[in-house]
Amino acid sequence: MHIGIIGLGKMGNNMRDRLRKNGVQISGYDPNPAVTDVASLPDLVEALPTPRVVWVMVPSGKITDDVIHNLADVLSPGDIVIDGGNSRYTDDAIHAEFLANKKIKFIDCGVSGGIWGLENGYGLMAGGDAEDIATAMPIFDALRPDGPRDEGFVHAGPVGAGHYVKMVHNGIEYALMQAWAEGYELLDSRKDLVHDVTGAFKAWQRGTVVRSWLLELLVKALEEDPEFADIAGYVDDSGEGRWTVHEALDRAVPVPTISAAIFARFVSRQKDSPSMKAVAALRNQFGGHAVRKN
């Protein structure tokens, strides 16, 4: 199978490498000449066999809109566009309808795994027509973790379902990181009693009910900088946590923990907080997100 990918940043570049490692031929396009395989979007389309599959891995919003509109001008009927970025699920129906007018198919796919996906594989949440999903399944199989398919991939439903599931995933992620960060701050506040905060977290990595990959990443971050001295307690949000809360309000579903985690990030922008340093460190560990230095 030979596909195209647009966007070769932290995620896209690693995804290209994993696909190649697992036997999928891939041509990538990025405006950065240092990483791109082809010089232009038309060159990318020309390089692919028909029917073409093009994976879009660029920031959500206008950039994704522009790429999809540009693709519509150069792709052919029967081709498939997969939006693997963090688009809002409500945008998917708009993109699908726009492409359908030119008989181009559309799949939305939430992708989790951050900078570790190249090594560990990516959690994938897809939305779209079952026939289109089946066509793209070799791509999903190459990207997902080793092991049972249903533990790393889900065809969640029609167009929009993949990004909806990813939105809720990120809302949960916000809440889990906040819980770890608050636990860190409480332990760190009792240096008179707890002499090894890093060791306390490390001791939870086996046999406890709270063991998790986030815990492993927190231990890694603490071992690199036990007091987070080089990290400012300022935490950005990518938008998906907000979207989760908006959806919960629309559906009258109580999400107090996720909501509190979002508001805590806003607090981080008002003062230097130890717990927010922990959240910033975790985001850097799993996603390579930039941190503000003190």
State whether 193 and 71 are in the same domain.
no
Q: Which amino acid is at 53?
A: V
Distance CA 140, CA 134 (A): 10
**What string of pLDDT tens digits covers the 294 residues of the chain?**
999 999 999 999 999 999 999 999 999 999 999 999 999 999 999 999 999 999 999 999 999 999 999 999 999 999 999 999 999 999 999 999 999 999 999 999 999 998 899 999 999 999 999 999 999 999 999 999 999 999 999 999 999 999 999 999 999 999 999 999 999 999 999 999 999 999 999 999 999 999 999 999 999 999 999 989 888 888 888 788 899 999 999 999 999 999 999 988 887 776 667 787 888 899 999 888 888 877
User: Which pairing describes strands 123-127 and 105-112: parallel, antiparallel, or unpaired?
Assistant: antiparallel
pLDDT of 271 reads 64
| CA angle (118, 106, 134) in 5-degree steps | 65
Task: Collapse the DSSP code of 43 into the 3-class scheme (helix H, G, I; strand E, B; otherwise coil) and give the result.
Answer: helix
State whether 131 and 102 are in the same domain.
yes
Distance CA 25, CA 23 (A): 6
Q: What residues have CB less than 8 Å from 84, skipping those under 6 apart?
A: 15, 55, 56, 57, 109, 110, 111
106 and 159 Cβ atoms separated by less than 8 Å: yes
Residue 292 lies in a domain: no
Among 158, 177, 202, the domain boundary falls at: 158
Residues acting as catalytic residues: 166, 173
Distance CA 221, CA 203 (A): 15
Residue 136 lies in a domain: yes
State whether 41 and 106 are in the same domain.
yes
Structurally, how many domains does the chain consist of? 2
State whether 199 and 241 are in the same domain.
yes
- Structural domain span for residue 79: 2-158
State whether 76 and 19 are in the same domain.
yes
pTM of the model: 0.89
User: Which pairing describes strands 153-157 and 123-127: parallel, antiparallel, or unpaired?
Assistant: parallel
pLDDT of 147 reads 96
Residue 79 belongs to domain with CATH number: 3.40.50.720
Nearest in space to 83 (alpha carbons), one of 31, 75, 63:
63
State whether 173 and 138 are in the same domain.
no
Q: Is the peptide bond before 51 cis (omega within 30 degrees of 0)?
A: yes
State whether 127 and 9 are in the same domain.
yes
Distance CA 47, CA 190 (A): 61
Tokens standing for residue 95: 């993109």
Q: Which amino acid is at 286?
A: F
pLDDT of 258 reads 94
State whether 131 and 252 are in the same domain.
no
Residue 253 belongs to domain with CATH number: 1.10.1040.10
274-287 vs 213-224: helix crossing angle, rounded to 10: 110
